[in-house]
Amino acid sequence: MMRLKQNIVITETGFVFDSDTGDSYSTNPVGLELLEKLKANVDMDEITAQITGRYDVEPLQFQRYFDDFVIMLRHFNLLEDTE
């Protein structure tokens, strides 16, 4: 399991702030939705079910995009692994 680090602040406009490093980022509304789910510790299957239920996207296609998104979050050191 992974989740967004607890020190990451997300605003409703999609501004993302890492309070440990001072780095900030911006994301679009879908990215914001995903970050909020990661912060709330929602698991991958549940995220996929919620997103594919809301948007016109196939599960496999979403998972590919989501994997890319997670790689980017890991690159920016915004994720942590949990039990």
Partner 1 sequence: MGKDRLTIAVTGLNNTDNPGPGVPVVRGIRESKDIDTRIIGMAYENLEPGIYMQDVADKAYKIPYPSAGTDLFMDRIRDIHAREKIDLIIPNLDAELFTFIRLSKQLSAMGIRTFLPTIEQFEERHKGNLPEFGEKYNIKVPKSISIQSEADVESIGEKFDYPVFVKGKFYDAYYAYNPDQVYTHFSKISARWGLPVIVQQYIKGTEVNVVALGDGNGNTVAAVPMRKQYITDKGKAWGGITLSDTRMLDITRQLIRDTRWRGGMELEMIKTAAGEYYMIEINPRIPAWVYLAVGAGQNIPEALVKLALGMDVRPYETYEVGKMFIRYSYDLICNLQQFQQFSMDGEL
Which positions lie near partner 1, rule CB under 8 A?
Answer: 7, 9, 17, 19-22
24-49 burial code (b ≥16 CB/10 A, e <16): ebebeeebbbbbebbbeebeeeebbe
Task: Tell me whether residue 21 or residue 41 sits nearer to partner 1 (CB atom).
Answer: 21
> Toward partner 1, which CB reaches closer, 9 or 40?
9
Phi first, then psi: give them for residue 25, nearest 5 degrees: -140, 170
Residues paired with 24 in a beta bridge? 17
Q: Which is nearer to partner 1, 17 or 69 (CB)?
A: 17
The least distance separating partner 1 from the CB of residue 27, rounded to whole angstroms, comes to 17
State the minimum distance, in angstroms, from the CB of residue 36 to partner 1: 19
Q: For residues 8 and 21, give the distance between their C-alpha atoms in angstroms, rounded to a whole number.
A: 10
Nearest approach, Cβ of 30 to partner 1 (angstroms)?
25
